[in-house]
Amino acid sequence: MVVVGGAAAYAMLRPGLGLARKAARAYVPLQPWSLPSEPPASPVELARALIGAAVLAPSDWNAQPWRFEVENSSIRLVADPQRALPANDPDRRGMMVSLGAALENLLVAARAWGLQPTVTYFPFEGAGGVVAEVAWTGGEAHRDRGLFAAIPERRTNRREYDHRGLLPEHRAQLGAQVAEGPRLHWVDEPRALRELADLARDAVHTQVMDRRTGAEQYAWTRFDDQARRRGDGVPVDALELGGVTRWFAGRCLDPNSWLVRFGAASAAGQARDGIRSAGAAVLVTAPKRDEAQWLMAGQAYERFALKATQLGLAHQPVNAPIEVERFRGDLLRRFGARGEEPLMLLRLGRAKRCPHTPRRAVALVASFRTT
């Protein structure tokens, strides 16, 4: 009692300190991982619910590089440059893929709620950062219900998988999610997976040891309850790092610490063991270098991830061999995809489920203008 009372009195006598502490502990509102099964009746609430589905999408380092502008029956999806990753993603392909994934969630929800959405890519020729505009009409049959149900269940799973291969029918169903434009290339032979695992290990090691890319990754890694407080970034536990890094992650992932060599070794080991334990790996490519293609590849990736979730399959993107340019050629060769643009490298398999990562609430990312 004395200790509690004493602490409270101290905080009251030092208001400045009390306020600073309070600000440091402040939590942003988080988006719940649930969606209504029927669409809300009011147009504003419907737009809010569609955006609520969009923000549950995956994004590079959970940076959530999106904003949404609602005007009557349309939603503009806008890239947020404050949330770009200039060191790891200098040409913004990862950002476009993330935006594409958010767009796809929005479209899946619209179809599941019986709406007929139409998309205009890069209206205003991309001015104002607008990457897509979605409008809709009502009165359609309910479609995509299975993918819709998977939106709150999907998550990136970095745990070890159980080495079992994929069933041919699962592979066919996953392949069917990818329409014209983006392409899928598979590797599932154990020896080819082992070689790919070594490539991923080397690329991840390079990224963590590099001062710029390592520092950026560190800035988006969240320790203690930071992820819940800020509603973004990747909680360090979700990274599934082993060795001493498990205990001293704050130091081992800090590019200014000499311990970073241990962090790099753990992250590289996670990537290698992750791919070795997978049933298959998939490379998503676009036929050419073009932002609209990257956005569409993000849509394809999200449909793929939702279908995998529906089939009970775990997945994890392992994009370091795409992001570190000198590994790209080797990666494309291993998938027989020379001359194409690599966008997502994924491993797939069966694993124990893992928790969700936080999302900033719709109120923080959407603006509404209704007439």
Ligand X SMILES: Cc1cc2nc3c(=O)[nH]c(=O)nc-3n(C[C@H](O)[C@H](O)[C@H](O)COP(=O)(O)O)c2cc1C
Quick one: 62 or 262, whose CB is closer to ligand X? 62
Mark the segment that binds ligand X (CB under 6 A) among 41-49, 57-65, 115-123, 324-332. Answer: 57-65
DSSP state of 4: H
User: Among residue numbers 236 through 275, which ones bind ligand X (CB under 6 A)?
Assistant: none
201 near ligand X (CB under 6 A): no
Strand order in the sheet with 66-71: 116-121, 130-137, 74-79, 66-71, 366-369
Among 51, 54, 59, 148, binds ligand X (CB under 6 A): 59
Task: Enumerate residues 6+ apart whose C-beta is below 8 A from 339.
Answer: 332
322 token code pair:
């795409």
Quick one: 96 or 115, whose CB is closer to ligand X? 96
Rounded to whole angstroms, how far apart are CA atoms 79 and 129?
5
Which helix (H) or strand (E) segment holds residue 149: the answer is: helix 145-150
Mark the segment that binds ligand X (CB under 6 A) among 29-37, 150-158, 223-231, 363-371. Answer: 150-158
Quick one: 249 or 320, whose CB is closer to ligand X? 320
Residue 222 has a CB neighbour count (10 Å cut-off) of 23
Quick one: 46 or 299, whose CB is closer to ligand X? 299
Rounded to whole angstroms, how far apart are CA atoms 153 and 56?
10
Cβ at position 263, least distance to ligand X in Å: 14
Count the residues of the shown chain that bind ligand X, applying the rule CB under 6 A: 19
31 near ligand X (CB under 6 A): no
Cβ at position 98, least distance to ligand X in Å: 4
Spell 171-194 as b/e; 16+ CB within 10 A means b: beebeebbeeebbbbbbeeeeebe
Mark the segment that binds ligand X (CB under 6 A) among 152-160, 251-259, 286-294, 326-334. Answer: 152-160
Quick one: 46 or 236, whose CB is closer to ligand X? 236
Residues in the chain: 371
Rounded to whole angstroms, how far apart are CA atoms 71 and 244?
51
Which helix (H) or strand (E) segment holds residue 221: the answer is: strand 221-222
Quick one: 285 or 357, whose CB is closer to ligand X? 357
234 token code pair:
């990747």
Angstrom CA distances, 67 to 43, 55, 133, 229, 339, stand at: 19, 9, 12, 20, 33
245 token code pair:
């890094």
158 near ligand X (CB under 6 A): yes
Contact 217, 289 (CB under 8 A): no
55 near ligand X (CB under 6 A): no
58 token code pair:
């995956």
| Per-residue x/- track, 300-339, ligand X (CB under 6 A) | ----------------xxxxx-------------------
Which helix (H) or strand (E) segment holds residue 299: the answer is: helix 291-310
Cβ at position 195, least distance to ligand X in Å: 18
Cβ at position 299, least distance to ligand X in Å: 12
Quick one: 87 or 135, whose CB is closer to ligand X? 87
| Per-residue x/- track, 100-139, ligand X (CB under 6 A) | -x--------------------------------------
Among 357, 360, 365, 366, binds ligand X (CB under 6 A): 357
Quick one: 271 or 366, whose CB is closer to ligand X? 271
Residue 71 has a CB neighbour count (10 Å cut-off) of 15
Mark the segment that binds ligand X (CB under 6 A) among 92-100, 109-117, 161-169, 275-283. Answer: 92-100
Residue nearest to ligand X (CB): 58
Q: Which residues bind ligand X (CB under 6 A)?
A: 58-62, 94, 97-98, 101, 155-156, 158, 234, 316-320, 357
